[in-house]
Structure 1
Amino acid sequence: MKTIILNEAGSVDNLQYIETSKPTIKSDEVLVKTISLSVNPVDYKVRSSDGALNWILGADRPAIIGWDLSGTIVEVGENVTDFKIGDPVFGMANFPGKGNAYAEFVAVPSAHLTLKPVNISHQEAAAATLAALTAWQTLVKKGKVKKGDKVLIHAASGGVGHYATQIAKHLGAYVIGTSSAKNREFVLQNGTDKHIDYTTENFQDLVTDVDFVLDTIGGDTILKSLDITKQGGTIVSIANSNISNEELEKAKSKGVDLSFALVASSGDDMLQIAQLMEKGILKSHVSKTFSFDEMSEAHLYLEKGRTVGKIVVNI
C-alpha cells in the first residue's frame, strides 16, 4: 500500500512516499481502507519540529503521521462487536500517538470510530474529526457551555472555530467570533451573532462579561481575553500548552478557570458529532481538496494560516 513516512522532522520534502504492507490489526482494532483524510495544523507542526514529532509520536522512526480519516472497514478484530466489514466509519485515530492515517489502509482501535451518516460524504466526515472533536470536548466537556452563555471564539473561520461556532449555537449560546474582514460573511452565516475583525478592531474594547472563551491563536490572546471574561468564567486554550504564571495569576484573581486542552480520540464523542451531522445541525466547510500525491501542497497551503474551514486529502 502507498504510505507517507517521516524519517526526521523538517520541510515538506521530508514527506516520503513508500510502499508498505497492510497493517496487522489487534483484537480490539479494525482495518480501515482510507477514502479521505483531513490535515490539521498539528500535522505540519509535527512534520516540521523534532520537539513536536517526539512529543506526539515518540522516538521511533520512520513515523507515519495523520489522525483524521473516513473510509470503509475491510477487517475486524476478534474482540470487536460494534462494527462489521463494509461499514463506513470516521474518526480521529490514536491521538495523542501514532495515528498512521497517511496510508491507504489504517489500523484503528474500534473505540476511536463511529459510523458515518449516509447523508454526509467521506470528505465531510474526514474534516469533522480532530477539529470537531476539539470543539466538542472544549465547549461541552470542559466549558460546559449552556443556553444563554456568552461565548467568544477566536479564529471563528478556521477548522476548530467553525465547528465550535455551530456547537455553541446548538447549545443555545450567544456567539461572538473573530476573523479577518474577508471572512466576515462566512463567520456570520456559520452562526455567530457578532463578528469582530481582529485586523482593525480590539475585541476587548467591544466585548464584556463573556462566560467562555476558546483560544485557538496563542500569543497574548489569553491575557487580553482575561480582561473580558466574567467572574467564574472559563478560558480554554488549544494553542498554548505553556500557560504563564502571569496568566494563571490574573485568572486566579478574577476567578476564571483557565486551562490548556489537548484533544483525545473518542468514539463516544464522535458518535455525538455524527448525530449532529446526520440532523444537519453540524456541517463541515471543506474549502479545498488535494489528492494523496499532493500531500506536500496540502501542508504548504495549510501553513499559510488562512484556511477557511477545513482542507481534505482524498486517496
Structure 2
Amino acid sequence: MRVITQKTVGEPSVLEVAEVPTPVAGPGQVLVRVVAAGVNPLDTYIRAGGFPALGEPPFTLGWDVAGTVVEDAEGFVAGDEVYGLLDFPGTGGGYAEHAVVPAANLVRRPSWLTPEQAGAVPMVALTAWQSLVGRGGLSAGQRVLIHAAAGGVGHVAVQIAKARGAYVIGTASAGKHDFLRSLGVDEVIDYRHQDFTGIEPVDVVLDTIGGDYAERSARVLKPGGVLVSIIPGNPGFDVDRASALGIRFELFLSVTASGADLAALPQLRVEIDHTVPLAAAAKAHELVSSGRTTGKVVLVP
C-alpha cells in the first residue's frame, strides 16, 4: 500500500510517497481501508520537528481516519463504514491507504457525516468535547467564549456548545462571521478591530491561540469561571495566576481516542476547506500552515 513518510523533519517537502506492506490487525484491532484522513495543525508541528511525538524519523503522520472495515473483527464486519482516532501520540499512520485501528477507538459513521467529513472530525471533535465539556464542564445557560471559532477545533466547539444550550461568543476575522452565524454563534468579534475583553463576563473560555490571549481571556471570566487552554508548551497562563484571580485554569494537554465519546457527539456540520490527494500531502500541510483555512483539510486516496 502507499503511505506518506518522511525521513527527516523540516518543510512540507520532506513528505514523500512510499510503498509498504499492508498492515495486519492484531487482537483488539480492526483493519480499515482509509478513504479520508484529516490533516491537523499538530501534524505540521510534528513534521517540522516542533513536537517530537513520534520520535526520530522515519515515520508516517496522521491520526484522523475514516474508511471501510476490510475484514470481520471485534464486533465490526467487512464493509462497515467507520471513523475514529488512532491512539495519540502512538505511532501515527493515518496518512496511508490502510490503517490498523484499536476497535475501542472506532464508531460506525453516522449518515450525517460524509466520508470526508468523518475523516476530518475525530481529533478536533474529541479535543472540543473533552476540553469544553470534560474539563470546562460547560452546561446549559452558561456563556462561553471560543477563540479562533472558525478554525478546525473552534467550529466544532461552537456546535457542541450550542447543542448543550450555551450562549456562544466567537472570535474570528470579519470574513468568517457569516459562517459562524450560520453555526449559531450568538456574538461574533473581529479580533483584528475589536477588543474581546469588552464583552459581558463569561463562564468558560476555550483558548485555542495562546500567548497573551490567556491573560486577556482571564479578564472576561466570572468569579469561579474556567479558562481551558489547548496550547501545549507555554500556554501563557498557569494555575497560580488563575488562583490569584479567583478562576480555574485547565490545560488540556492531550486528546484521548474514544469511540464512546465520538458516539456521544451531537450532529455536527463539519466544514471541509480542501480535499487533497494523498500523494500531495505536502500541499495539504502548506494549506494548514497558512492559517487561512476555514474548517479542515483532508487527504483522500
TM-score by length of 1: 0.92
Instruction: Find the counterpart in structure 1 of residue 55 from structure 2.
Output: 58
Instruction: Find the counterpart in structure 2 of residue 71 from structure 1.
Output: 67
Instruction: Find the counterpart in structure 2 of residue 18 from structure 1.
Output: 18
Greater helix content: 1
Among 298, 303, 312, which residue is 2:289 paired with? 303
Matched, 1:169 2:169: no
Instruction: Find the counterpart in structure 2 of residue 47 from structure 1.
Output: 47
Q: CA RMSD in A?
A: 1.4
Instruction: Provide the C-alpha distance between the structure 2 equivalents of 1:133 and 1:123, rounded to a whole number of angstroms.
Output: 17
Give yes or no for contact 1:241–1:260 (8 Å, CA) kept in 2: no
SS in 2 for 1:144: coil
Instruction: Provide the C-alpha distance between the structure 2 equivalents of 1:243 and 1:68, rounded to a whole number of angstroms.
Output: 25
Map 1:123-162 onto structure 2 (within 5 A). 123-162=116-155
Instruction: Provide the C-alpha distance between the structure 1 equivalents of 2:81 and 2:146, rounded to a whole number of angstroms.
Output: 32
Give yes or no for contact 2:39–2:299 (8 Å, CA) kept in 1: yes
Matched, 1:100 2:89: no
Instruction: Provide the C-alpha distance between the structure 2 equivalents of 1:3 and 1:225, rounded to a whole number of angstroms.
Output: 41
Matched, 1:255 2:230: no
Instruction: Provide the C-alpha distance between the structure 2 equivalents of 1:217 and 1:118, rounded to a whole number of angstroms.
Output: 32
Shift of 1:243: 4.2
Instruction: Find the counterpart in structure 2 of residue 268 from structure 1.
Output: 260
Shift of 1:76: 4.4
Instruction: Provide the C-alpha distance between the structure 2 equivalents of 1:223 and 1:155, rounded to a whole number of angstroms.
Output: 16
SS in 2 for 1:123: helix
Instruction: Provide the C-alpha distance between the structure 2 equivalents of 1:74 and 1:304, rounded to a whole number of angstroms.
Output: 36
Instruction: Find the counterpart in structure 1 of residue 211 from structure 2.
Output: 219
Shift of 1:257: 1.4
SS in 1 for 2:71: strand
Deviation per CA, 1:135-189, whole angstroms, max 9, x where unpaired?
Answer: 1111111111111100000000000000000000000000000000111111111
Q: Percent identity?
A: 40
SS in 2 for 1:312: strand
Gaps of 5+ in 1: none
Size of the aligned set, in residue pairs, is 300
Instruction: Find the counterpart in structure 1 of residue 2 from structure 2.
Output: 2
SS in 2 for 1:90: strand
Among 197, 202, 205, which residue is 1:210 paired with? 202
Shift of 1:271: 1.1
TM-score by length of 2: 0.96
Shift of 1:38: 0.8
- Of 254-263 and 38-47, more deviation after overlay is shown by 254-263
Give yes or no for contact 1:29–1:76 (8 Å, CA) kept in 2: no
**Counterpart code for 1:32:** V
